Amino acid sequence: MSNSRHIPQWQEAGVVSTAASPFAPLKPVPVQAVTMRDGFWKTRMNANRTNGIPSFLAWLDVDDQTAPFRAYAAGDRAGIAAGLETLKANPTGMNRSRNGHSWRANFHKWLEACAYVLQSGDDPDTRALLDLFVTGVANAHQDSAFWDIYYGDDFEKSYGLGNPGHLIQAAIAHHRATGSTEFLACAQRVADAICQQFRGENFAGHSVIEMALVELYRTTGIERYLAGARHFLTPLLRQPSIIGSDFRGYVSRHVVRQTYLMCAGADYYAETGDQEFMDKLTAIWRDMTTGKLHLTGQLAVDAENIELTCKDAFELHAGVFRFLLGTGLETCEAIGNATWNWRMLALTGDAGYADLMERTLYNGFLAHVSVDGDKFHYLCPLSSDGNHWQRTPWSSASTSCCSPNALRTIASLPGYMFSVSPDGVWIHLYDSCTVDRRLDDGTKLCLSQDTSYPWDGRVNITLDPEQPSTFDLNLRIPGWCRNPTVQVNGQPVEGDIASAAYCRITREWRKGDTVTLQLPMPVVAVTADPRASYYEGKVALCRGPLVYCVESTDNPALDMWGACVALPPGNEEGDGRELIGHYRQSALLNEFGADFKQDLLGGVVSLQGEGGSNDHPDGVLTFIPYYAWANRDSRSSMRTWIDGITEWEKETR
């Protein structure tokens, strides 16, 4: 272990631990330091823990992915032999409940989710499961027979190093939850073999190992892991500055592999300051947000292959308009994009990255997860004629990668809400919670948020430093927000408060100081860039960070493909807001009602306003948050983008 790098104590390390990274000005706040209280994300974390994790484990058992590890944990020789025979019989992952596929990382991502649950507080059931399987995995890796069957001599059975990459990430999360090094030592053995074997032009087929190795370096201080990550990142530097370029064909254009590679590039820059990486990442991010990004924060995909990024800018129609069977946007890409933006935020403090992270989490990501937390989409379209893939515990008949990816993301969310820097505290996401943290000068600070966000834009923040202390409080003002206000102890903060930026308040803070943030949430009609020709005449409704949709469950008489919404006489272009990417708030819909309904879909604000179908535009439409669709009727029809018509257009129809 190197002595040149400070390694944070295991309980002090964040989800992405940039605490000792010299080129990441924002330092993480670990999951352990954040206590979620009743609010939006705690509800989902509870469902994730009590429904999602057990449900997916039941599927893993049926799918023959846990039997070897249970047997290894118990020292059951007969069970071990049977488990190895199962692995031999399924060399490409052709297990009982899915199609042939060599992706075996589902189990490791499930372990990672369990570890994040424990980072939020002890849960006896989850701890017992984690202890059992970690023992089984560690014992299995002492058996050369298991190693040969599971990885192969040259890791040819590892799905392009995706499987061992996720094992390393799970081991790191386990170490940061428990302090144990048992699983971590196992991961190091795998990483050592990979770093020794993969040299020259031998790179990973599925990006994961790159960021896993950087995080292993952050955890152990061992330089060869950072060097190994640099080797596997060679293709990123060779890639043209285009999101999903054809540089390496399928590998480069794959939406998940591409975003994961970007995550690793940001991780590597945080440790080394190699400007070539930052230049490449910034250019590719700019290309993505200038014509290849959906309003929900997800990458636009190719019309012929939904796992690949679209080739041309403003080619945004796949999964949005008609002929939708089998098309949509992938869960894992939403996660990759959100976590890439988190890393870029840590490197820059730029609120634009936080805006896109929030937009993706609430919309592109959460639409894949059922309200009760135990069913998941593999692909989720932005419109549906009712023939979409349904949410299931295993998400897909092939890789089933999306379900455990969602599990670990929801469990780790407290780690993305705050950062600290030498000058103070940063709040990126708003929800009811409390964070306990020491500032750079050693002052202990307890900071609490009380809010009904995202349903209401009022956020009350209470600061309780153990002694008076001068530092910056940085509040993210979302890019979608108009006319925000900030008060400290009831007095307005002077100066302009800009959207898509952080409001920095520098003062001596004392115990009991309060900050009140008001983020008005009108209903707005959003339009796309004119170069996106399929969107001509179409609008999407948004309120706060949420994208809304019309669903047949609420609008049974509606011709979904002729749906239209009434717009005010004049669009308020001068007061519009540019949203991340190529979308604009083009009109305020002040006549729309926005009502919170506790008994609807776990509690949502629904919207009601004038609209209907092209043949009958004089009616009332009901909108729900896009993320909540297909929870009451799994075969419902739905649209996000619909026709926007004015009074004059209504009269001519």
HSE (side-chain half, CA atoms, 13 Å) at 144: 1
Residue 130 is encoded by which pair of tokens?
Answer: 């984690």
Burial of 179: CB neighbours in 10 Å, binned 0-12, 13-18, 19+: exposed
Say which range, 159-168, 331-340, 569-578, has the weakest mean pLDDT.
Answer: 569-578
Q: At 275, is the secondary structure helix, strand, or coil?
A: helix
Per-residue confidence at 88, pLDDT binned at 50, 70, 90? confident
Place of tokens 């939850």: 177
Question: What torsion, rounded to 10 degrees, do the Cα atoms 62, 409, 629, 621 define?
Answer: 180
Residue 608, pLDDT above cutoff 50: yes
Burial of 120: CB neighbours in 10 Å, binned 0-12, 13-18, 19+: buried
Residue 305, pLDDT above cutoff 80: yes
Residue 93, pLDDT above cutoff 50: no
**pLDDT number for residue 495:** 83
Q: Considering only CA atoms, which of 419, 391, 417 is closest in space to residue 406?
A: 391
Mean of pLDDT over the chain = 93
**pLDDT number for residue 207:** 96
| 8 A C-beta contact, residue 363 and residue 543 | no
Whether the upstream peptide bond of residue 465 has omega within 30° of 0, thus cis, is no
Q: Considering only CA atoms, which of 117, 645, 3 is closest in space to residue 373?
A: 117
Amino acid letter at 589? L
How far lies 40's CA from each of 48, 288, 428, 479, 521, in Å? 13, 29, 15, 20, 17
Task: Tell me the longest C-alpha to C-alpha distance in the chain.
Answer: 79
Residue 260, pLDDT above cutoff 80: yes
**pLDDT number for residue 569:** 82
| 8 A C-beta contact, residue 36 and residue 435 | no
pTM of structure: 0.96
Place of tokens 């990274």: 21
Q: How many residues does the chain have?
A: 653
Report the alpha-carbon distance of residue 442 to residue 277 in Å, rounded.
33
Residue 103, pLDDT above cutoff 60: yes
**pLDDT number for residue 573:** 47
Residue 577, pLDDT above cutoff 90: no
Alpha-helical (H) ranges within 299-371 are: 331-348, 351-359
| 8 A C-beta contact, residue 500 and residue 482 | no
Check residues 397 and 472 and name the one with the higher pLDDT: 472
Place of tokens 């455990």: 404
pLDDT mean over 215-221: 97
Say which range, 12-21, 328-337, 396-405, 560-569, has the weakest mean pLDDT.
Answer: 396-405
Residue 94, pLDDT above cutoff 50: no
| 8 A C-beta contact, residue 423 and residue 413 | no
| φ/ψ of residue 556, rounded to 5 | -65, -25
pLDDT mean over 573-583: 71
CA gyration radius for the chain? Answer: 24
**pLDDT number for residue 70:** 95
Terminal C-alpha separation, the chain: 74
Q: At 579, is the secondary structure helix, strand, or coil?
A: strand
Alpha-helical (H) ranges within 179-308 are: 182-197, 209-220, 223-232, 234-238, 250-253, 255-272, 275-288
**pLDDT number for residue 67:** 82
Residue 323, pLDDT above cutoff 90: no
Report the alpha-carbon distance of residue 122 to residue 120 in Å, rounded.
7
| 8 A C-beta contact, residue 498 and residue 477 | yes
**pLDDT number for residue 101:** 61
Strands of the sheet with 485-488, listed across from one edge: 34-36, 433-438, 444-451, 458-465, 513-518, 485-488, 491-492
Domain ranges of the chain: 10-416, 419-477+485-518, 523-651
What are the residues facing 564 on neighbouring strands? Answer: 612, 643
**How confident is the model over 467-490, as pLDDT tens digits?**
999 999 999 999 999 899 999 999
| 8 A C-beta contact, residue 431 and residue 448 | no
Strand ranges (E), 201-313: none
> What CATH number does domain 10-416 carry, 3.90.180, 1.10.3470, 3.30.70, 1.50.10?
1.50.10
Checking DSSP bridges between strand 642-645 and strand 563-566, what pairing results, if any?
parallel
Residue 401 is encoded by which pair of tokens?
Answer: 């990668």
What are the residues facing 539 on neighbouring strands? Answer: 642
pLDDT mean over 605-622: 92
**pLDDT number for residue 570:** 64
pLDDT mean over 240-258: 94
**pLDDT number for residue 616:** 83
Residue 303, pLDDT above cutoff 90: no
Q: Considering only CA atoms, which of 191, 167, 16 is closest in space to residue 103?
A: 167
Report the alpha-carbon distance of residue 582 to residue 290 in Å, rounded.
6
**How confident is the model over 39-77, as pLDDT tens digits?**
999 999 999 999 999 999 999 988 778 889 999 999 999
State the SS3 of 55-83: HHHHHHHHCCCCHHHHHHHHCCHHHHHHH
pLDDT mean over 637-651: 81
Report the alpha-carbon distance of residue 389 to residue 383 in Å, rounded.
12
Q: Considering only CA atoms, which of 523, 524, 537, 557 is closest in space to residue 641?
A: 537
pLDDT mean over 444-471: 97
Residue 249, pLDDT above cutoff 60: yes
**pLDDT number for residue 388:** 78
How far lies 591's CA from each of 189, 295, 566, 568, 587, in Å? 62, 23, 10, 9, 11
State the SS3 of 380-406: ECCEECCCCCCCECCCCCCCCCHHHHH
Residue 164, pLDDT above cutoff 60: yes
Report the alpha-carbon distance of residue 427 to residue 422 in Å, rounded.
15
Say which range, 36-40, 100-104, 493-497, 542-546, has the weakest mean pLDDT.
Answer: 100-104
Of all residues in the chain, the percent with pLDDT exceeding 90 is 82
**How confident is the model over 486-507, as pLDDT tens digits?**
999 999 998 889 999 999 999 9
| 8 A C-beta contact, residue 453 and residue 40 | yes
Report the alpha-carbon distance of residue 227 to residue 232 in Å, rounded.
9
What are the residues facing 243 on neighbouring strands? Answer: none
